[in-house]
Copies of this chain bind each other. A is one copy, B any other.
């Protein structure tokens, strides 16, 4: 079974069982998502660049990262549910669009410019 659909359904039940759907308008859910992304950023902010690859796989950081990434995912799935977006389908489409937009040979080893 689709685990995105399954987690989405379970988050909906969790929300409804506590009568929290009244708080879950799109703008409020986006602020909640931002809060969790902020907690994720705090875990990494002072990690030295050269230590990253190692420490993210060590405890206690590894489990804390898993927890904050989970919170980000759960709010994102909740937002998609409220907005009526099939996120598994939309993300597959977006990835295909990115493949078409960035042909491998033209972009090998060059990060897309943002400036």
Task: Count A interface residues, CB 8 Å.
Answer: 81
In the complex, what residues of B have CB within 8 A of residue A53's CB? Answer: 25
In the complex, what residues of B have CB within 8 A of residue A115's CB? Answer: 43, 60-61, 64
- Tallying the copies of this chain within the complex gives 4
CB-based contact B95/A11 at 8 Å: yes
Determine the residue in chain B with the shortest Cβ distance to A32: B45
CA of A82 to CA of B62 in the docked complex: distance in angstroms?
A: 11
Determine the residue in chain B with the shortest Cβ distance to A42: B35
- The B-contacting residues of A in range 22-42, CB under 8 angstroms, are 22-23, 25-28, 30-42
Determine the residue in chain B with the shortest Cβ distance to A5: B3
CA of A45 to CA of B79 in the docked complex: distance in angstroms?
A: 13
